[in-house]
Amino acid sequence: MKISKAISEVRSGTDMIAVLALGQRTQDHIALCGVFSHTNWKLYEADTRRKGLELVRQKGIRVVICETELPDGNWQVVLDELRDLSVHPQLVVSSHRVDPQLWGEVLNLGAYDLLPTPFEPAEVRRVVVQAWLASKNKVQTETGFRMLSGQVRVAAAQA
């Protein structure tokens, strides 16, 4: 399915996409704000692992975009801590250093994907939608509910 079709099928209700941008790179946060400004998605920001995980717990965030290194840990520590949460957020690692070794490590350890920086808006939208649906499917599968449609309304998001 094309991402534009998936985005257009996402409907309103209680299923708003909430994403945490976790890291200290101001230019990445600004770029994500630009991508999210064309949607009804909610973007939260935190500059440390501790603050970010607290936001995930409080807000029920399902997608975390995390830089490789943080002042109080790295993406691997964040991934381990996210696994213990009931909402099962998906971790997307962001890095300006994208090579086969990092890509393999990210996927093999269980993160959802790797986003190269600077961000490409269409790729961010694609990855966020797919990660959100994966998180939602995982929770519904584990609770015994079938997902009939994993949809969220996205205003003016175009791929």
pLDDT at 138: 75
pLDDT at 147: 37
Nearest CA to 131 out of 27, 17, 8 is that of: 17
pLDDT along the chain (159 residues), means of 10: 51 72 96 94 97 96 97 97 92 95 96 97 97 84 44 37
What pTM was computed for the model? Answer: 0.82
CATH topology of domain 3-142: Rossmann fold (3.40.50)
The first and second tokens of residue 102, run together, are 């990092």
pLDDT at 4: 54
pLDDT at 146: 39
pLDDT at 141: 56
What letter represents residue 132's amino acid?
Answer: W
Residue spans per domain, the chain: 3-142
Q: What does the alpha-carbon distance between residue 54 and residue 130 come to, in Å, rounded to a whole number? A: 23
Q: What does the alpha-carbon distance between residue 69 and residue 75 come to, in Å, rounded to a whole number? A: 6
pLDDT at 38: 87
Reduce the DSSP state of residue 18 to 3 states and report it.
strand
